[in-house]
Structure 1
């Protein structure tokens, strides 16, 4: 740590400050002993989660270690951006990152697989890929065709990669990863060539650019919907698979935009999947899509008795742990507050009445 202002530079500040949580969460995950009959996961921001089984298998999904807007620039949207194609806007999207970095990607250990849902850069991240590749040489890189193509372009060896499409299953030690159809219409209007016109053309093949995942563990099954919008096919997935926990990309869509799942459709998703717990994610990360997840809880309360909901919502916090089934009846997460050993040793104040 610098002792004088002359020793401080922008570079020293960045290295001493970021990631904001240092290795605190890395250490917590590494030290966690998952009880038999349970599965634990941590929310890493956006749709990034870390899944850890009782058998000590570690799956990292969609961890993103990048930033949104960092300058006003020329005030214009990047030509050909999916939001521009979707809505015909020209003004810059004010998508500032609103969450701190709660995990140090370059201190990750024992990752058995990096799994990515789709091609968008806030899910498919070169920093995460580099860290897992360097720190966890045995880790597999699992994703749809175009995700794997991006990893190969970045230098991930082909033998480390596994291309999946809906219906494929991959066993990573004791965890079975099942790829399922995705319903991400924003991904369908994503195109690298800003000069290519999509109007009047057949859309891309969704199966090559995005999938949803079901992670089957000895402690329960976790459904990750990536950035999928609501789809009637959620009910098909719920018919075909036992789903304990489902995660969906929730947010408050700006005027003229449909990119995130609304509160009502988060509940519809959980009902269709026959899930026991529904957890909203992604609403935390973008300044222009911020939403209050308690809206989901309040609508659930309003409807649950009349519609006989068999699931509960869970309002998480980034960096927090959720264990199934231990926390399945909890409605909200709170961080450990500490001080449970208060007055376990003599306190040191001038006199008792000081307190």
Structure 2
């Protein structure tokens, strides 16, 4: 243990971040996915790690950054998507609320790095650098045009890119990645600073964002990125078999319509005709945090009258979900331990009086 006179701000940061150290990295590496299943871990925001029985590992929207760090910059800059959305100057106290549950520099193996779109909480230069330096395999970086441009600006080599648009598919080991249409209207009002917001049109969507359908031996996973609710979800549900669907949920501040509400999450699950719908993204920003009980209450109110054929699953950041093994679960709790507490009976003074 360090002496007080040896402790510095830098030593505290190095010893405390990431908060989970390499615990989750080790869990993912050690996980042996059983045939007919697929394992998933929630990494915070819309970050997802997927592992298959064939040992295929992919990450989607893994992000290791933060939001506001000082009250000196509490307002959004001109041209920011939130300011563009509300049409004015916006106070944005978006402090990061969730811990870093994975160490990007401890990632030893990943088969593909995916991004749904290029917003700062869905792509990460630290993770890109870690993959390029530490992973021996030639890992592809998969995403829409704008995501490719951002990776390129960070220095990711040109031969690593796989640019996708709706309809494109990529096969990696025992999974198939299918790019689908995104419904992220916030992305449409995002500028690069120099471009005029009036020149942004819906035709840009396919270049800016995609949704993904990840076809695995254990089921098909639908990742909707930051999509808002769209009636087009119904077409995706008719065209594809979807087992587990992820939707960006949040409590929208006044003047903003950036995240799906509880009603929208349930409507998405019904439209996609999925088996399980899982809300994500509500965890990360303090000004968008939402109560998942609202989803559960509405579901219980409506499930019989509307004959829902799916159910919501309420997760925890850093948690594992295996489909279909965990299909009937409704809520997640981290391992509480103690299940092995009497494998070796303790020699304690009070044992004789128990």
Same fold (TM over 0.5): yes
1:64-100 deviation line (CA, Å, top 9, x unaligned): 1000100000543212111111113324300000000
What residue number does 1:310 align with? 309
User: What is the DSSP-based 3-state SS (H/G/I as helix, E as strand, rest coil) of the residue aligned with 2:67?
Assistant: coil
The answer for the alignment partner of 2:174 in structure 1 is 174
User: Contact (CA 8 Å) 1:102, 1:319: kept in 2 or not?
Assistant: yes
Task: Spell out, residue by residue over 1:190-230, the C-alpha distance to the aligned partner (whole angstroms, 9 max, x if none).
Answer: 10116x44247645510001000000011101000000000
Q: Distance in 2 between matches of 1:273 and 1:202?
A: 26
Alignment of 1:137-152 (within 5 A): 137-152=137-152
1:10 to 1:41, Cα distance in 2 relative to 1, 3 A: same
Determine the C-alpha separation between the residues in 1 that align with 2:201 and 2:266: 31
Describe the shift of the 1:87–1:55 C-alpha distance in structure 2 as closer, same or farther (beyond 3 A): same
* TM-score after normalising by structure 2: 0.96
TM-score for both structures, normalised by structure 1: 0.96
Query: Which range is displaced more, 70-79 or 259-268?
Result: 70-79
In structure 2, the CA distance between the partners of 1:202 and 1:334, relative to structure 1 (3 Å rule), is closer
Q: Distance in 1 between matches of 2:118 and 2:128?
A: 13
- Displacement of 1:138 in angstroms is 1.7
Which stretch of structure 1 is more off in the superposition, 344-353 or 68-77? 344-353
Cα pair 2:224 2:246 within 8 Å, conserved: yes
Check 1:292–1:78 CA distance in 2 against 1; reply closer, same or farther (3 A cut): same
| 1:219-266 deviation per Cα after TM superposition (whole angstroms, max 9, x unaligned) | 101000000000111111111111000000000101111000000010
CA distance in 2, matches of 1:296, 1:354: 48
8 Å contact from structure 1 (residues 70, 96) kept in 2: yes
Is 2:292 aligned against 1:293?
yes
Q: What residue in structure 1 maps to residue 8 of structure 2?
A: 9
What residue is the counterpart of 2:328 in the other structure? 329
Residues in 1 aligned to 2:193 and 2:64: alpha-carbon distance in whole angstroms: 24
Matched, 1:20 2:30: no
CA distance in structure 1 between the aligned counterparts of 2:168 and 2:260, rounded to whole angstroms: 26
1:236 aligns with 2:216: no
Query: Does residue 34 of structure 1 match 2:72?
Result: no
Aligned-partner Cα distance in 1 for 2:55–2:200: 47
Match of 1:163?
163
Are the equivalent residues in 1 in contact too, given 2:250–2:290 (CA < 8 A)? yes
**Structure 1: unaligned runs, 5 residues or longer:** none
Matching residue of 2:244: 245
Q: Check whether the contact 1:77–1:90 (CA below 8 A) recurs between aligned residues.
A: yes
Q: 1:91 to 1:233 in 2, by over 3 A?
A: closer
Partners of 2:239 and 2:260 lie apart in 1 by: 23
Q: How far off is 1:322 after superposition?
A: 0.4
* 2:188–2:201 contact (8 Å) kept in structure 1: no
The alignment's C-alpha RMSD in Å is 1.5
Aligned residues: 353
Question: Does the Cα contact within 8 Å between 1:266 and 1:280 map onto a contact in 2?
Answer: yes
Sort the Cα spacing of 1:241 and 1:21 in 2 relative to 1 into closer, same or farther, 3 A: same
Matches within 5 A, 1:62-73: 62-73=61-72
Structure 1 residue 147, shift from structure 2 partner: 0.4
Question: Counterpart in 2 of 1:186?
Answer: 186
Instruction: Determine helix, strand or coil for the equivalent of 1:306.
Output: coil
Q: Deviations over 1:32-90 (max 9, x none)?
A: 00000000000000000000001000011000100010000054321211111111332
Per-residue Cα deviation, 1:3-43 (whole angstroms, up to 9, x for no partner)? x1111111111111110100000000000000000000000
CA distance in 2, matches of 1:39, 1:248: 19
